[in-house]
Structure 1
Amino acid sequence: MRLHRLKLRDFRGIGEREVCFADRGVTVVEGRNEAGKSSMIEALDVLLRFRDNSKSSAVRAIMPSGRDVGSEVEAEISCGEWYFTYSKRFNKQPSTTLAVHRPKPEQLSGRDAHDRVDEILDTTVDRVLFDALKLLQSGTDPALTDLSSAASLSRALDRAAGGGGLAGAEPDSVVPPDSVVSPDPIVSEDDNVLVDAVAGEYGRYYTLKQGKPTGELAAAASRAAVAGERYDRLRRGREVLDDDIERLREAVSRRGELQRAGELARADQERVELAWQAAQAVLSKAEDAARGVAHRQTALTLAERVMNERNDIRQRRAVLCTEAAELDEQCAQALEQARLAAVEASGLEGELSSAKEILVDLREKVGTARQALRRARLTAEVAELTDVLDKLAGFRAELDTVDGELATHTVDAEVASAAQALAHRIDVARGRLEAAAATLRVETLGDHPVTIDGEPVAADGAVDVDGAVDVDGAVDVVADADRVIEAAGVVRVTVRRGVDTQALAEELDRLQWSAQTLCDTHGLTDLSQAAARAAARTDLTHKRALICERRDGLLKWRTVAEIRDWRDVVRAELEGLPEAEAPAPDSIDDLVAAERAQADLVERAHTAAIRRASESSALTDRQTSLARRRERVGKQIDELDDRLAELVFALPDDEARAAVDRARDDLEEARAAQTQFAAQAAELDAAGIELRREQIARDIGHGDAELDAVGHLITELGTKLEMYRSEARLDEFDEAQVEWEDACAGLRRITRRAEAAKLLHETLTRTRLESRAKYADPFTRRLDQLGAIVFGESVRFDVDDDLNVVSRTVEGVTVPRDALSGGAKEQLGLISRLAVATLVDEADGVPVIIDDALGYSDPDRIAAMASVLTEAAHDAQVIVLTCSPHRYAGVRDAHVVTV
């Protein structure tokens, strides 16, 4: 399988993107974090796994946030003889399209397209291997998953372990997968024929992948199940028929019982009805007596009300006469008090007018004095603001000077730290180079001049060459580069730099170039000046902060423009004030005190005048109110006198009292009659007779309803039994029973054959799996070959029967895999996948997908892993997703895509 192109639109945070992958070799897809690199692999999985209308959470999660649009994925894939373009739209207006380009053109859509792609992938792609060769940022163990069901790898290891190819290669030789020789046909052909025959027989009864019943076994089981269902259905019908016969017998018996019970209930109803009519006659007389008592009670109440009304009128008239006398006395008192209050209010108004004239004169004097004081205060404020502006101008000049000096000091703490770290790295690199390179000692013995790289060596051993050291009249020179030692006219010795020191020298040159660049950028002669320059910048920064603090203390959250504008406002206000002589502070205080005292006096006089006038008005209003109230009381007395005269004229008091006595006697006679009839009704128990009458009526109704229901049931059951006899269901039941027993016998026969085939298939499969131990040898050799690039030529791996790495041995030291560091585990996981990819035949191969791996690897290991990727990519398609492109910069001939 090869992935040629992948196109996404509206997939999570990806608007639209199309990436083309190299058919062979390494494709590096680089981009920042959250650029959607991992989403591309997820999109491929969603495309191949889910239908376009799937409601899975994985499909709903790909919808872009905040937009109601469909997510589209399109891929161009080749596998086996097939080459096709496959696309889907999810979540919104779902659709699926498939365009097959080879071996013959096809265009499908919808469910047919999805099923067709599943069929192609099932026949040409090892999905277990496809999932195993992904190394994603899942945070889990990067070890290979179980590959026991990877058919393509099993075929490759079968051939490699069968005597050809890798089985006969030397342990340290590199044998590419396409050079594996086919196994001996005599040996493998018979085995394959037997395995295929057993698998074919097993496939007649079970599916090869999940072991579920199929073929003859599934058909026999289905036939037995269908026959069993038909037999059970007819058996349940027979049982229902028996139940209906029994129900019909019970219904006929129940109908007879209900008819007899109904006759007895109607006889009881006639007896109870006669007793109920007699009780109703007595109850009617008791009710008439009760109504007579109510009428006489009403008459007595009316007679008593006439007498009570006359007594109430006489009592109310006496109370109103007393109230009228009191109101006359209160009106006279209120009139006198109102006259006295009006006189006092007039005197207070005169005193208030004199006090106000004195207050106005005092306020004019205080205003003149305050205006003079305001002019003096504004003059002082203008002077203060002018002084602040002058100081701020000085601070501005000081800040400009400091800023100018800071512009020439570009070395801050961060640059100084970087310079210190770079100097340390240069010392370390120089020490490693000197430790790895040869050291030459040159000592002049005669008169012939000696030069090193063209520089003369003095008699005391001094020479101007980088890395030269004087030692007791001789000079030691480190061969970190090609060195030429020459005695003119006698000999020239050229010392070549060792191959193993080339990388160290290049590293030192790179660091020195970085140091020179940093010095040139910041105007330093060497890295040692960075600390002093940083300290000087710190002092200037501190000085600037102090100036800003003093300036802010003067500004007080204002700006210079605001201070200047406020000074202009104060100055304009000062110029608008008239010239006036400032009074003495003591005289102003005296005037203000006198003004306040006079204002208090005016306020008190005004309050007293208003209060006395209000009292006078209130007393006048009270006298008016009392007079009106006295008038209303007089009218009420006259009305009561008129009403009492009318009542006495209509019925004198003696006759009214006699009417009350007669009504009371009549009420006593009516109550005696009511008591007599109530006792007779209680002896009859009319309520019990009524309840018995209602209960008998309900029983008769329920019995008639149940009798009707039983009659309908008898008719319904009789009809059903007649239909069952006419349809010959008993013969159908016997036929279904025979068919079910025959199907069960056939199922038992086929089951015995299926279990025998299953036992043989499982035995061969188990034997085949047990022989997989020998498969680990080709995989181990390929793993050793690729691992030697990273861990050294002495590396060896111990692999178990499931192709899991158990331990790693380097230079005789064995470390269990679980004890390896995170970086080593990650490197080993990637090497294992590349080893599997290179072992599998190209026709069975799948892409190796690596998502931001090597995050725990050091620079040397990253460079070595680049060589491993380059080596493995000759026989596989490798897709790398990374946010750190420098990790894979060493991969040769890589196809780089930036997203």
Structure 2
Amino acid sequence: MRLHRLALRDFRGIGEREVRFADEGVTVVEGRNEAGKSSMIEALDMLLKYRDSSKSAAVRSIMPSGRDVGSEVEAEISCGKWHFTYFKRFNKQPATTLTVLEPTPEQLTGRDAHDRVDEILDSTVDRALFDALKLLQSGTDPALTDLSAAAALSRALDRVASGGGDPAGSSDASDAVDTEDDTVLLDAVTEEYGRYHTLKQGKPTGELATATARSTAAGERYERLRRAREVLDDDIERLREAVSRRGELQRAAELLRADQEQVDTVWQAAQAVLSKVADAAQNVGHRRTALTLAERVLDERTDIRRQRAAAAAEAADLDEQLAGIVADAARALSEATALESELYSARKVLDSLREQLSAARHAQKRERLTAEVAELTDKLDKLAGLGAELDAVDGELATHTVDAEVAAAAQALAGRIDVARGRLEAASATLRVEMLGDLPVTVDGAAVGNGDAAEFVAVADRVIEADGVVRVTVRRSVDTRSLAEELDRLQWSAQNLCDTHGLTDLSQATAKAAARTDLAHKRALICERRDGLLKWKTVAEIRDWRDVVRAELDGLPEAEASQQESVDDLVEAERAQADLVGRAHAAAVRRRSEASALGERQESLSARRDRAGKQVDDLDARLAELVFALPDDEATEAARRARDDLKAALEAQTRLAAQAAELDAAGIELRREQIARDIAHGDAELDAVGHLITELSTKLEVYRSESRLDEFDEAQAEWEEACAVLRRVTRRAEAAKLLYETLTRARLASRAKYADPFTRRLDQLGAIVFGDSVRFDVDDDLNVVSRTVDGVTVPRDDLSGGAKEQLGLLSRLACASLVDRADGVPVIIDDALGYSDPDRIAAMASVLTEAGRDAQVIVLTCSPQRYADVRDAHVVTV
């Protein structure tokens, strides 16, 4: 397949565009971002895939924004023996037109044109290969997709693996027929295998799944009816047992009811005796209550007398305590008053000392601020002098530009000049001119003295002349020209260095550098003295601080006459007097607190004395009321009578309890309750057995009426037939599976051989990018597993983004160069190599040039410089 021309009109952001592509080699379509380069690939895919009347979201999205017009796409394509022009208009007034140019002219429109193009492409273009050889801006892994369905690539690799020669060459008819026959056979076997198993997971489907489902359903129905038949036999046996059990339960119930009548008679006699025992127990309770009440009356009077004696003793003790507390409170109050008087005098002395201390501190602060202002003024004067010295030194340094580095450069340059001059003189001729006669002789215009000899080296052209007789020109040797030029260049550099730094010659540089070093040392000493005075501050900060101190000094009032005592003595006296005041204050507060506490204690004891006296009066009144209501001797007699009555009631209760024990009333009650439970249990079981007999009888009658036995026989026959059908289908399915797996293994073995020519071609192209040592490990599905360069192997997933992108492009170009020219498809690359460095980009350009000899390569890019090195590329600007 070859794409010759692609034209777009009103396609998304593209108004109108037509691009022609080179049939062989590389076509580079360059343009800015959003120029519609990727839209051209989308337009080609949409032309070949969608009908003009499609309402899909992809088709609706290509309509230009703000314009109600149709989007048009036209392409001129060659594939196989066909050469045609294909046109479609989408969304508005849809239309499809096909114009076949070769081999026989045709013109079709509408759906007929769409179907005809599909028929041509299906018969001549490997669509799986066409999709795989695109490298788009999708952001996904640039690795090749599955190429198992790429028949064109399979044919090419089959031929190369079998020794058929150049894959890009033309294939003979026999190879094509063999490949097609193999494909037809595999398709037929796959179709037969698909009748029984799913292709992906090998699960039963079709006839095998149907036969299996029918056998399973018939088996389940037979098993269900068989279990129902077994349940019926169990029900018949259970019915016989239930009828027998019902007779046994009826006889046992009659015997239990006779025993119940006898036990009821004995139980009623025992209940009469138990009633008398209960009455005796109730009488004992009443007598015990009467005794408790009588004893409570006596106990209450004893308790009142005890409480009255305790309250009287407490009142006497409180009277004694009150007398002592009153005396202590009066004494504490008098002492507190005396202490407060002493505290007042001590505070007056303390206030006087504090006034004297404040005046002394004020005078001391004024003296300190005066001294600080003087010190700061002296420091500023010294800093001003040092600043002047530093300015003078800086001025001298500005005129001395020769430092150690410049001096070293001058020395090195002088040495190089000496060496160059020596080399030049050694390579040049040395001439000696001596005047022998009376005629004057000159060398470069300078006269040679009589009897003198002049020697010079011919490092430049020299003219020796005897006036009116001869002129000799000694020219510099060609071999010494470069040495002379080198000497001139070094001398020019020396003169430039001297002019820059004010030197008469290079020898002065060392002295100048030493003088600059002395000045720098002097400047460092001045800076050190200045920094010592500054102490991490600036002159402005010191001046500002002096102004602050001076302002504070000016704001202080004039000091009074000096005190006799020093500040330290006054501080010590003030501290001693403050301590004395504190102790006096604490003693006065403490004594006043004690007096207050004694007063509160007196009030508390008085309240308690009043409560104790009131309690004595209340107890006397209560005791008088009780004695008036019932004298003490009568209360004692009532208690004695209550004890006698309780004793008699207890004796009667003991006698009746002995009679009840002899009857064993509890045993009779238990026997009576057991017989009742047995009768109830027997009746319940008899009812359950009756219900069971009724249920089983009904089920047996229903089974007989529904002909379940005939249904069971029918299910058994159906299950046996389904099992037979399943065995036959299973044998056919296993045979199809065996043939499919055998052919698949053979094809996989053949595909394993495909990897070798693909790997060789990939190594050839990869050597241009990664070097001659590169080797690729390729699996049977033509996926690159790893890359080895200089003996270092790196898995493909661990390669950088740029290397993965380069490898994806290499794989596509390798496939394109392996496929026959008749079966080939364009390699479309949309703005790749964005992660590649300049060296790799240049190498990939060579790869594209190499691959373009065997395939049509279309590159779309917004960076034309990436593909500038592709030779003989057809460049289109959009």
Q: TM-score band (shorter)?
A: 0.5 to 0.7
**Match status 1:461 vs 2:479:** yes
Displacement of 1:230 after TM fit? Answer: 3.4
Residue in 2 aligned with 1:157? 157
Match of 1:599 in 2: 578
Superposition pairs of residues 284-363 of structure 1, within 5 angstroms? 284-363=275-354
2:630 to 639, 648, 651: 651
- 2:613 is aligned, of 620, 624, 634, to 634
Change (3 A) 1:790 1:598: closer
Q: For the residues of structure 1 that align with 2:855 and 2:867, how far apart are their CA atoms?
A: 18
CA distance in 2, matches of 1:249, 1:562: 124
The 3 A distance-change label for structure 1 pair 211 and 613 is: closer
Matched to 1:730, the amino acid is L
Give the superposition deviation at 1:459: 1.3
Q: Partner residue of 2:63?
A: none
Q: CA RMSD in A?
A: 6.3
Question: CA offsets, 1:110-158, max 9 Å, x none?
Answer: xxxxxxxxxx99x98659995999999999xx99999778655324423
Corresponding position of 1:725:
704
Task: Measure, in 2, the Cα distance between the counterparts of 1:551 and 1:156.
Answer: 91
Q: Could you tell me which residue of structure 1 aligns to residue 45 of structure 2?
A: 78
- Write the distance in 2 (CA, Å) between the matches of 1:748 and 1:787: 56
**Candidates 565, 568, 578, aligned match of 1:589:** 568
Determine helix, strand or coil for the equivalent of 2:709: helix
Match of 2:557 among 575, 578, 589: 578
Distance verdict in 2 for CA 1:76–1:804, change over 3 Å: closer
2:402 is aligned to: none
Provide closer, same or farther for how the CA distance between residues 846 and 247 of structure 1 changes in structure 2, counting only shifts above 3 A: farther
Q: How many Å separate the matches in 2 of 1:240 and 1:838?
A: 77
Residue 27 of structure 1: how far off its partner (Å) = 9.9
Matched, 1:281 2:248: no
Cα distance, 1:300 vs structure 2: 1.9
For the Cα contact (< 8 Å) 1:28–1:895, is it kept in 2? yes
Amino acid at match of 1:459: S
8 A Cα contact 1:373 1:582, kept in partner = no
Instruction: Give the Å deviation of 1:678.
Output: 3.1
The question of whether the paired residues in 1 share the 8 Å contact of 2:336 and 2:591 is answered with yes
Q: How does 1:698-717 map to 2 (within 5 A)?
A: 698-717=677-696
Cα pair 1:77 1:83 within 8 Å, conserved: no
Contact 1:136 1:852 in 2 (8 A): no
The 5 A counterparts of 1:140-151 are none
Is residue 220 of structure 1 aligned with residue 211 of structure 2?
A: yes
The one-letter amino acid paired with 1:329 is E
Map 1:837-852 to 2 at 5 A: 837-840=816-819
- Structure 2 CA distance for aligned equivalents of residues 230 and 278 of structure 1: 69
Q: Quick check: 1:342–1:612 contact (8 Å CA) kept in 2?
A: yes
2:405 maps to what in 1? Answer: none
| C-alpha separation in 2, matches of 1:398 and 1:733 | 126
Does 2:639 match 1:672?
no
* 8 Å contact from structure 1 (residues 389, 564) kept in 2: yes
Counterparts of 2:803 and 2:619 in 1: how far apart (Å)?
Answer: 119
* Structure 2 residues not aligned, in runs of 5+: 3-18, 32-40, 60-70, 74-85, 92-120, 398-426, 430-474, 488-516
1:836 is matched with which residue? 815
Secondary structure at 2:45 match in 1: strand
Q: How many residues align?
A: 675
Q: Aligned-pair distance for 1:365?
A: 1.9
- Judge conservation of contact 1:152–1:844 (CA < 8 Å) in 2: no
Shift of 1:578: 1.9
- Deviation of 1:745 after TM superposition, in Å, equals 1.9
Q: Distance in 1 between matches of 2:754 and 2:193?
A: 26
2:715 to 736, 740, 747: 736
The change in CA–CA distance for 1:341 and 1:730 in structure 2 (over 3 A counts) is same
Aligned partners of 1:26 and 1:877 also within 8 Å: yes
**Counterpart selection for 1:611 from 584, 590, 603:** 590
Alpha-carbon distance in structure 1 between the residues aligned to 2:130 and 2:276:
104
Q: Distance in 2 between matches of 1:106 and 1:259?
A: 96
Amino acid at match of 2:724: A
Give 5+ residue unaligned stretches, structure 1: 3-20, 31-73, 89-98, 108-119, 170-174, 406-441, 445-456, 471-535
1:661, CA displacement in angstroms?
1.9
How far residue 579 of structure 1 moved from its aligned partner, in angstroms, is 1.6
SS at match of 2:566: helix
- Distance in 2 (alpha carbons) for counterparts of 1:792 and 1:832: 16
Change (3 A) 1:642 1:326: same
**Cα distance in 1, alignment partners of residues 653 and 130 from structure 2:** 105
* Residue identity matched to 2:706: E
* Aligned positions of 1:480-879 closer than 5 A: 574-581=553-560, 583=562, 587-771=566-750, 775=754, 778-779=757-758, 782-783=761-762, 785-787=764-766, 789-790=768-769, 831-832=810-811, 834-840=813-819, 863-869=842-848, 871-872=850-851, 875=855
Q: Deviations over 1:806-862 (max 9, x none)?
A: 99999xxx979799998999787864554235435767889789998998xx97666
Matches within 5 A, 1:120-199: 126=128, 153-158=153-158, 167-169=164-166, 176=168, 183-184=174-175, 187-188=178-179, 191=182, 194-199=185-190
Q: Whole-Å Cα distance in 2 between the matches of residues 332 and 192 of structure 1? A: 134
Q: Which AA in structure 2 matches 1:364?
A: E
Give CA-to-partner distance per residue, 1:738-793, whole Å, 9 cap, x none.
Answer: 22222222232333333334444444444455555764665366346535535779
Deviation per CA, 1:169-214, whole angstroms, max 9, x where unpaired? 4xxxxx647x555544665565555555544544444455554444
Checking the alignment, whether the CA contact within 8 Å between 2:242 and 2:689 is kept in structure 1 is yes
Q: Which amino acid aligns with 1:158?
A: D
SS in 2 for 1:461: helix
Separation in 1 of the partners of 2:157 and 2:818? 8
Return 800-809 or 592-601, whichever deviates more: 800-809
Structure 1 residue 564: Cα displacement = 8.9
Which range moves more in the overlay, 648-657 or 684-693? 684-693
Tell me, in whole angstroms, the C-alpha distance in 2 between the residues paired with 1:391 and 1:138.
76
Change (3 A) 1:803 1:687: same
> How far apart, CA to CA, are the structure 2 residues paired with 1:832 and 1:894?
23
Going from structure 1 to structure 2, the CA distance change for 1:215 and 1:291 (only over 3 Å counts) comes to: closer
Structure 1 residue 231, shift from structure 2 partner: 3.0
Matches of 1:727 and 1:776, distance apart in 2? 71
In the TM superposition, what whole-angstrom CA distance separates every residue of 1:410-441 from its partner, at most 9, and x where no partner exists? xxxxxxxxxxxxxxxxxxxxxxxxxxxxxxxx
Deviation of residue 651 (structure 1)? 2.7
Tell me, in whole angstroms, the C-alpha distance in 1 between the residues paired with 2:381 and 2:673. Answer: 115
Letter in 1 for 2:576: A
CA distance in structure 2 between the partners assigned to 1:201 and 1:746 by the alignment? 18
Q: In the alignment, what sits opposite 2:81?
A: none
CA distance in 1, matches of 2:683, 2:90: 78
Partner of 1:55: none
Query: Residues of 2 paired with 1:836 and 1:784: CA distance?
Result: 12
What is the TM-score with the length of structure 1 in the denominator?
A: 0.58
The Cα of 1:662 is off from its aligned counterpart by 1.8
Residue 385 (structure 1) shift: 8.1
Alignment check: 8 A CA contact 2:128 2:147 kept:
no
